[in-house]
Amino acid sequence: ASAITDLARAWRSHLRGRVIGLTGSVGKTTTKNLTRDVCAAYGSVVATKANQNNELGVPRTLLNADPETAVVVVEMGMRGLGQIAELCDFVRPVWGLITNVGESHIELLGSRENIFKAKCELLPHIRPGGLVVLNGDDPMLASLRGRPPVPAVFCGREEGLEYRAR
């Protein structure tokens, strides 16, 4: 995996479009597909194929884009602490999105708090001028209101969120 990661890291510097990094316990692939479809209205889009969101699929996604691709939507999965950070190190997302914090992989991470920490590894990797979209209906993600390390918008069904589905 190291060689493909090195290629993707080098190729990333040639991509001029917006790179969106997306993670979460459930709903990643559906959210990635919806994001891809919405962004397609604004230009060319490359997105992670199926659910190839690991150390091989993520670099392949970057390598499938060309310098003129308007948006690259990268779905990032994880099985442990540090994995999202490792992926973000070469993905270098401009925008980020966390769908939720559930109990997927709790057997590997031990607690929802550790899953929350793992998902939040995305936040410090958002590029300057970027932002993160967070699920304001998820209590753990909602706890970041007023204190995320990067500009954030919260969306969901709850009152008081920046974007609210009704």
Q: What is the DSSP string of 57-98?
A: HHHHHHHH--TT-SEEEEE---SSTTHHHHHHHHH--SEEEE
Query: What is the per-residue pLDDT for 154?
Result: 96
Provide the pLDDT for residue 1: 66
Residue range 76-110, pLDDT digits in tens: 999 899 999 999 999 999 999 999 999 887 888 89
Q: Can you say whether the dihedral through the CA atoms of 159, 160, 164, 166 is positive or negative?
A: positive
Residue 29: partners with Cβ closer than 8 Å, 6 or more residues away: 50, 51, 53, 75
Longest alpha-carbon distance in the chain: 47
pTM of the entire predicted model: 0.94
pLDDT of residue 98: 97
Burial of 165 (0-12, 13-18, 19+ CB in 10 A): exposed
Which residue positions in the chain have pLDDT lower than 70?
Answer: 1
Give me the pLDDT at residue 60, please: 97
**Nearest Cα residue to 158 out of 150, 149, 148, 145:** 145
